[in-house]
Structure 1
Amino acid sequence: MRVDKEAQIIDDIMEKIISKSIKPGEKLPSENRLSQDYDVPRMTARKALTTLEDRGYIYSKQGTGRFLKDASRPIQLHLTGKTSFTEKMKQAGYHLTTENMYCEPIAYDQKIYGILQANEAETVFNIGRLRYIDEEPIAIHQSFVREAKFLDIATEGQGILSMFAYYRSQGYTSFTSNQSYLSTSFPTSDEQKLLSCSSMVPLIVVESECVDVPSQDVLEYTKILYRSDKFKYDITMK
């Protein structure tokens, strides 16, 4: 059976990373050394190291070599529950900051309009926020709301950092979600720039809706993109 030497190099280095045989900051073997050890062309060794770099495990210093990155502490995130992302992060003691990127109307989308129970003639706004933990971008939050439900959202939406806080200012105090969906995707070029990640870092996509408990009205449809390499996900039902 033909052995994929590139995959073998990657697997062997990953095994050393996991077993801590290679320490953070330690220099990895050079392309020349790997090509000799595995009896492969230098290009094969280079591709293996580039893949590890794209996945976020190692980094390059020009003229010096490649080194193992420091292991960052995973951010624990409970994906269920009735507490906002802002409140979850503050309760966990993380230094969270939020940037409001835009508040703009969207083109008609059957799925989003259906969830919001909006007709085609209505205007739905998308409020996008970029979340930072310790000044590092870790998530993109998109909230879709009906203008008919929040008449001043076109102007007020430009300053919203927490949707739950905004809803409370509008008289809503109790929230729930009837359905939540979890999937994965790879970041687009725009998402890579916003989240400072490579195309090889998967994103965890969480889609849900925010429902006002007393009236059971759907207040928003939410789509959140999390950097998968920055979180430890808690899916325990509480």
Structure 2
Amino acid sequence: MENWIIDDIMNGLQSGRYDVEEPLPSEHTMCARYSVPRITVRNAYNRLEDQGIVVSRQGKGRYLTPSKTPVHLDLWTGSSFSEKLMSQGLELDNRILIQKSCDYDRDIWKRLDLDGKEEQVYHIAIIRMIEDSPIAIHHSYLPIKYFPLVEEEAPTIKSMFRYFTTNGYTELKAVSVTMELSLPTSEEQELLCCPPLIPLLVLENCTHSKEVTPLQYTRILYRGDRFKYHIN
């Protein structure tokens, strides 16, 4: 019965029966409509909340979550993430999450083609924000031997793409690209302000330049409900 209730609400959303400004039917109303116990209705609404479709407002009931205009993201162009958003007239803000030398991780060292534990890697994690809303988490892992001043320069980095070019690295390209869908961890839910069943697109790649390969290992988590992805 939970699925029937969810289907009814989703059909109402698509047909325009429900308005984002009006509360959805109460648990009591839905119980009478479907002749089911209250816990069944509550579970259905909770599942819709977990998917970000419904939001609860204290003392007012449940409402459809207002839709937001999707951000268009071309995954394969050579411009930076910041430049892609600026071309759409969007203002991007960055919040530094991590800036530190990272402990040895066999997988990261292998991706960066580093010889052993004596090599050093700097980890920069940035939360990407649009209109004070977090939309992505960008993890960059940089071999310190290619960026000896990265610890001093990290607080001023706004765009990794621009940082590489200002350090003399040219003809940048992404290689060994992988994409997969993942559900957010509890920490990622908090950082991205998203419900537990909002899928994340996880994009991983290594950045190569004409001068150095590989220059960077990147792991980016995009909120699946905020982007429209273009793959050319």
Q: Within 5 A, what are the aligned runs for 1:1-238?
A: 5-120=1-116, 121-212=118-209, 214-215=210-211, 217-235=213-231, 237=232
Distance 1:160 1:199 in 2: 31
How many angstroms does 1:8 deviate by?
1.2
* Residues 147 and 153, structure 1, Cα contact 8 Å, conserved in 2: yes
| Structure 1 residue identity aligned to 2:120 | T
Q: How many residues align?
A: 231
* Residues 177 and 209, structure 1, Cα contact 8 Å, conserved in 2: yes
How many angstroms does 1:102 deviate by?
1.9
How many angstroms does 1:216 deviate by?
5.1
How many angstroms does 1:61 deviate by?
2.2
Distance 1:55 1:218 in 2: 38
Could you tell me which runs of 5 or more consecutive residues in structure 1 were left unpaired when the two chains were aligned.
Answer: none
Per-residue CA deviation, residues 172-225 of structure 1 (Å, 9 max, x unaligned), is 23211122111111112221111111212111100011111x235211010000
Per-residue CA deviation, residues 148-171 of structure 1 (Å, 9 max, x unaligned), is 111112222233221111112211
The SS at the match of 2:90 is coil
Per-residue CA deviation, residues 55-109 of structure 1 (Å, 9 max, x unaligned), is 1112222232111122111111111121111111111211111112221122222
Q: TM-score, normalised by structure 2?
A: 0.94
Shifted more, 193-202 versus 102-111: the winner is 102-111
The SS at the match of 1:87 is helix
Distance 1:147 1:215 in 2: 15
Distance 2:91 2:23 in 1: 31
Distance 2:133 2:164 in 1: 27
What fraction of aligned residue pairs are identical, expressed as a percent?
A: 39
Q: TM-score, normalised by structure 1?
A: 0.92
**Root-mean-square deviation (Å):** 1.4
* Residues 85 and 92, structure 2, Cα contact 8 Å, conserved in 1: yes
How many angstroms does 1:122 deviate by?
0.7
